[in-house]
Structure 1
Amino acid sequence: MRENAGSHPAGVFRFPKREYILGRHNQDAYYWPSYNIRAFRRGSAEFVSTRHEEVGGIEGEVYDVPHDEGVCILNLSHRDTFQWIEKTNRYTNMQDRVSFFDTNTPLEAFAQERIAFWLAQSRSRSDYVVSAALLRAVYDIVDRVKLWEAQDGLDGSRAFAAVCAELEATYDIADRAKLWEAQDGPDGKAVFAAVQAELEARDNAFRPGHRRTDTDIPPHRQRSSLKTVMKKIGSRLRGKRP
């Protein structure tokens, strides 16, 4: 290979990659043979930082080194399923990554298509070969769901902060209700009825078409806003104007 490279007409050379997934290699699995660019002439390509692309700007002929000649890249890729999931989560969190999926395809159809696609690349149905194909489909599915999250503007941290703030405010009202009862104030049922009515009057952040009006408020200010609401409830229950 080295002797012929100087006179070879190609400018870019792709080498077969021998993957080891779940600790072993199987030539019936979807990944064999796969190829990676590992050599190119100056000006024929360039290294890029995009995850899973690595080389871009390819110009001229690309030559695939035959996978049956013994020359290959040995890639000890994933020891086990745990490492596959860990890498999947890490790689799909990178903003600069290859994600070529059509985001208009319904998620359910997309998941089924990816499973069928990687199984079709396999040459047997042994447990190992099927497991490798399913893990590869899982990567695509996780990647696609994260793209959907970004498109839909989902922010679980903010949503959780709102839920926690509402729960804290409700617990605060429960404590106040006990004090009011001890002081011959309104009974607990009246307090909780008022709390429920007030919360139901607010937009529910988790129902489509009913976004909360305060979801753009930072969590620490959401808590203050909710406590203000609860004080208003208490004032009404005591017959005072808020």
Structure 2
Amino acid sequence: MAFTDLPMMSTVQLTQPLGDGDDNGDGDVIYYSYCNIKAAGVLTDIDNMGRPRSKPTVVLSLNWGMIHTAIVCAEPGDTLWRAVDMSCAGDIECELPAIHGGLAVQGRFFVPNRAGDVLEVEVRPQPRLTYVARQAGDEAQSGLNQRSYLVPSGNDVGAGMLLLRTWGPGNVHYQAFTVDLGNRRLARHEMGGTDTTVFLPSVTLRSSAFPNVVANIAYLKRHMKALMQGLYI
């Protein structure tokens, strides 16, 4: 329940200076004329006594121009947002954003890539992404025709998350995975009987509390508006 001032969204400082071939002429600052905040979270570093080791860090996952992505972070007192180094993701920017949204869990911030791998934002020594869990075996795919989302698990025992990977025209098909942070792996998750309904990109509801929704499935983003209007969906 605290308030703080954060930098304006007009500029973001790059983790590394731009190369000589870049033509914006501003060295290590890039300008966003338009961007959408797809997810936000607060990173906290707490010792065993519950005391903060450093200032909390606000992280934003951004999309702009329909196909471009960026993750930026700032601490209270900063004058610029810092860009998170996303080079390890190795995704190709094409028809879909390489990173779509993200989720804060227990003072950490995670993002999925298109292929359904899970990465974590680390801010020290420099802001960067690191892999937490990768798709493996038959589940590993290129991701070029997919979108992936992280959503709360809806489990009352501990804060967990699910990864949902969608594909097909309109992204109408999906697979669900449990994200096991302790063992750094992904496991297929069956929605049936879980009493959870997911609204992409990031909302998980208890199915039994909402008689207007179908239980144990994932809805596309546009269906949330219909639910809020009291319609059966």
Q: TM-score, normalised by structure 1?
A: 0.21
The TM-score normalised by the length of structure 2 is 0.21
- Greater helix share, structure number: 1
Q: Which has the larger radius of gyration?
A: 1
